Amino acid sequence: MKKIGFSLIFLCFLVFSNLFSEKYIRSGATGLNDGSNWYNAYSNIPESLERGETYYIADGYYPGPHYFDDIENGSQWILFKKATKLFHGTSSGWNDSYGEDQAILNNIQISRDYYEIDGVEGGGDPNWIDNFGIKIEYISGYTYPLNEKLVALVGPSDFALNQPQNLNFKHIDFKHGGIGLDINGDIIYTYPPNSFSEGVKNVYIGHSYLHDCARNQILTFLSENWTVEYSFFARNFSSSERHSEGWQDFGGQNMTIRNNIWEDITGTSFIALKKNFGYEQSNFMIYGNVFIYTELYDGQLGGQGVVGDTDEVDAVTKDIYIFNNTIYNVFGWNAGFSFTGGTNEDIHAFNNLFVDNPSSIRVDQSSVISDYNFYYHNYTYSSEHSSGLNDKILDSNPLEDPSNFIFNLSEEIGPGISIDQFIVENPLLATFFSDDSYLYDMHNTKRGDGLFWDPGALEYISFSSLDKPFKPSGIKVRN
């Protein structure tokens, strides 16, 4: 019995030692370079990482390339955390100046499972575009693997096989080289899997800033179980040679895109569900987002709208839920939702708010089940719009001050349809709403707490009681 008890105690010691083991990375460190404390910290991210470790990283520049390809050990994670004044692991060798700024990398390629990169600070409400602990930035003159991809998620030997799973990205400024570069400059890129493999699964991106790229902010192939939330997408480039969107997806399954801001995104759509390879796409939850064009934008949106598909006849798109989004000042061919190709099943659009869009708004009645959408001062309201029995054309601007980037509702303008009522009317769809995150907007205001469930990205709350108005700094909307 004593031997068994000792063995159990020793096993617990090994487990918890591994769970809480820490190493340290600091640019300019001149000690033993073994990561044991801040004085002896690694001076760059080591080529080989240990499973079960937490790597605290200090301010500074850490040139790559960085290949994260460490063999898995069960479900043990490798964690990267930005060191801050308050949270930095050991105090041995620590100086508060190590946690005052950013850790900057120029690219990463991930080929194995269970990695988390956490900048700890920045992003989301109210610091949507600044104060990030970690920045992954395009550096001119550096030779990037995989044709200028900032973050590449690929298989370890054959890029198409054994693609990574279980990846988290938090509080990160992803900055590509700008919209003028003549490159396939995606920010987060997955490689097309072959018929014997699966795509990248179980990915979380939150409280981050993905901006200024020459193609797509995100490009995914046969990926599953992604959640992207509380993040800011801004500025990309599209041409006939490089068709682009904010998120271009081929064959995605179980994707949640919620409570984000999408600014000045060009291409076919802000979010394009592409059918070019004949893959089935299903179960997309797209809600709580603000889609906008600013006075700085000189392009236009393509014909498939804010969320749309491409017309490949032999592919299926189904179970797509687009609700409680705000679409403001989007100009081009279409500011609506358009699914025109292949087979489309159970595509729902409701509780969306369209304001001051100088373009047509098409919500295709043949493929999109649409109702409870609200409109104010758009270019057209005709048969191209959805014609739900509960759609409403508003008499006055419902937004607090959109010209100054404040998108709070000035008053309650519903009723929209609550999710509970939506499920009552569509009982077979209840399984898609098992997670109650849809109840909260990007300010963490609970929907339906007022007189009724409001349309748009932000639930009404009296401005006097709103601590953090929705207004990222340094941005002005086109008048």
HSE of 284 in the Cβ direction (CA atoms, 13 Å)? 28
Q: How many CB atoms lie within 10 A of CB 34?
A: 12
Tens-digit pLDDT profile for the chain (479 aa)? 444 444 444 444 444 434 558 999 999 999 999 999 999 999 999 999 999 999 999 999 999 889 999 999 999 999 999 999 999 999 999 999 999 999 999 989 999 999 999 999 999 988 899 999 999 999 877 766 667 889 999 999 888 888 999 999 999 999 998 877 777 889 999 988 876 678 999 999 999 999 999 899 999 999 999 999 999 999 998 877 777 899 999 999 999 999 999 999 988 899 999 876 778 899 999 999 999 998 877 766 776 789 988 766 678 899 999 999 999 999 888 888 988 878 888 999 999 999 999 877 877 667 888 999 999 988 765 444 556 889 999 999 999 998 888 899 999 888 999 999 998 988 878 888 878 889 999 999 999 888 889 999 999 986 444 444 455 544 445 44
Q: Cβ contacts of residue 304 below 8 Å, gap of 6+?
A: 268, 269, 272, 310, 334, 338, 340
Bridge partners, residue 224, by sequence: 201, 253
Sheet with 337-338, edge to edge strand ranges: 66-68, 108-110, 151-153, 188-190, 218-221, 247-250, 271-274, 307-309, 337-338
Decide: 356 and 396 in contact? Cβ < 8 Å.
no
d(CA 272, CA 269): 5
DSSP characters over 441-465 = -TT-PBTTSSSSPPSSSS----GGG
Task: Tell me which DSSP letter residue 453 carries.
Answer: P
Q: What is the pLDDT of residue 334?
A: 84
Specify the length of the chain in residues: 479
d(CA 330, CA 337) in angstroms, rounded, equals 12
User: Distance between the two ends of the chain, CA-based, in angstroms?
Assistant: 78
Cα 160 to Cα 147: distance, rounded to the nearest angstrom: 16
Distances (CA, A) of 435 to 270, 431, 442: 25, 9, 16
- Residues in a beta bridge with 393: 375
pTM value? 0.91
Determine the pLDDT at residue 291: 96
Which pLDDT score, from 0 to 100, does residue 468 have? 44
Alpha-carbon distance of 153 to 111, in angstroms, equals 6
pLDDT of residue 472: 54
The full set of domains in the chain, from first to last, is: 2-465 (2.160.20)
Distances (CA, A) of 297 to 30, 265, 302, 330: 47, 9, 14, 10
